[in-house]
A and B are shown apart, each in its own frame.
Chain A
Amino acid sequence: MSAEPAPEPVPAPEAPGPPGAAAAIAARVVALGKDLLGQRRVQVASGSVLFLLLAFAGTGWDYRAAPPPGADLSVSPPARPSTREGARLLAERQRLETTLRRKVPRGPWIVIDQTHNRFRLMRGDDTVLEAPCSAGSGMVLKEGTGGRVWVFDTPRGRFEVLSKLANPVWRKPDWAFVEEGEPIPKDPGERLEYGSLGEYALYFGNGYMIHGTLYERLLGRPVSHGCVRLGREPLREVYRQAPLGTPVYIY
């Protein structure tokens, strides 16, 4: 007995309609999906843009303008507070205000703006004298062999006039010789130099002085080694008006 051959597979009957309709439907479904997805994308994108715009508008610094000068009445409470605590606070406020007022010197005082090389002699709130000066150059001097370094800055802070000299003599420090390429003398007398500090000098500590200069044309520029140079006429006036103990403020 011979085995009966297996029947050939019969292709499934095609769906009714034109050929490839299923593929077309599938393609349409995909297109519709893409469209929907696209719209969603547009929605998402427009939503994001809107959010970003809102975030941009609503993020930053929220400023309030201070009331114009004189408009703030809160600084003048009634003279007699109604509570005991109020009275105590008022008394303390007055005490603090007095303490702060007393910080301003009663006599003459000196202000030096070393950035702009401006010198002011003050008395109370009034400017008695204003003149150009020369403060520290800020230069750095390096010794060739010894390895020492000097920085020519004028110090900032509050100082006092500690001594006053007419016809001052400059005792040249080491850097003055190093800068000139000269050997540092062993004899202290060789360090003395006459006339280079002008007519007067007001010493305010740590080797720093307010003094005159041979180079008046450079006043207003930062060219000194840390001292404050002043022109002849303003220096005369300062020497005359500023007694020992005069506060010197340098900023």
Chain B
Amino acid sequence: MRLIRLALTAALLAPIAAGGATRTAPAKPEDPETARLRRQVDRLRAERDLASGKGFYLRLDASRYRLALMLQGVALDDYAASALAWGVPEVLFVNRHPGADWDTAAFSKGRLEPQRERDRIEIVAPPLASTAPGAPTPEPSPPPIPKSAEESYSVPSPYRIEFAEGVSLEVRAKGEGGRNRSLFRRFGDAMGLRLSDLGTAVGLGTRERVRLRVTLEAEDAASLYRSLPPDVGLVVIGLPES
């Protein structure tokens, strides 16, 4: 009986003692070199996990200014960025930093904003031709030729790819339409963009906590918008520590 009571007391006191022990011996801060290696390893693990799956993903290499569409570790398309930045929401001059290691994880379920709608042509099969001898066989009309991707989708600039984890990738076209638009139109667009940024920064209709912004050649930005597969992933490598 005494032994049981002793064991129970020990079991009750153990967590307290453990807590006390952790309080008395705080974790030693990691040296910067090891911390840097750990971040690199975490990023590579995230990339390996994406490359082992069956889904498409984007690989943003910030140290080389490259954005690639990947599948199982293979680059299917590769775009050079002329500008690259990452931002956090700021409300009344106070920004909400997402934490040091936000970029060591993989992001998933990326979807285009604004969405890309596909108009499909629907054909109802013609009625069966009569098999009676001597009956005229109507020649079926050839199916219409669908529009090419360039004809089907107009590409907004900027557009965003929003991921489930609150990270988004904003794609801008380099020098988009600057020459062909009036000053008034450009001012209107800039104001619209500013107000949209204001709204997203305060969290209206979005959960964005980090936004990556890349500027691509107009043709590349359009190509990515038109061909981006659904539910794309994202891995970011080469960003310096923030």
Contacts and interface: CB of A to CB of B under 8 A. Distances in A.
Contacts of B71: 157-158, 249, 251
Contact of A104 (B56, B64, B74, B129): B74
B118 interface: yes
A182 B128 contact: yes
B122 interface: yes
A106 to B, nearest CB: 12
A140 B33 contact: no
Given A54-B92, A144-B126, A181-B126, A138 B36 contact: no
A104 B120 CA distance: 35
Given A63-B86, A86-B34, A116 B201 contact: no
Given A74-B36, A142-B123, A103 B74 contact: yes
Nearest to A179: B125
Interface residues of B, number: 75
B33 A113 contact: no
Interface in A50-93: 54-56, 58-70, 72, 74-75, 77-78, 81-83, 85-86, 89-90, 92-93
Nearest to B126: A181
A92 B27 CA distance: 23
A116 B226 contact: yes
Given A180-B140, A218-B145, A251-B229, A61 B90 contact: yes
B7 interface: no
A222 B146 CA distance: 6
Interface in B17-56: 30-31, 33-34, 36-38, 40-41, 44-45, 47-48, 51, 54, 56
Interface stretch (A12-20, A26-34, A94-102, A202-210): A94-102
6 contacts: A63-B213, A74-B36, A81-B37, A93-B41, A247-B74, A249-B71
Interface of B: 30-31, 33-34, 36-38, 40-41, 44-45, 47-48, 51, 54, 56, 62-65, 69, 71-74, 76-77, 83-93, 95, 118, 120-129, 131, 138, 140, 143, 145-146, 148-149, 194, 197-198, 200-202, 211, 213, 223, 226-227, 229, 238-242
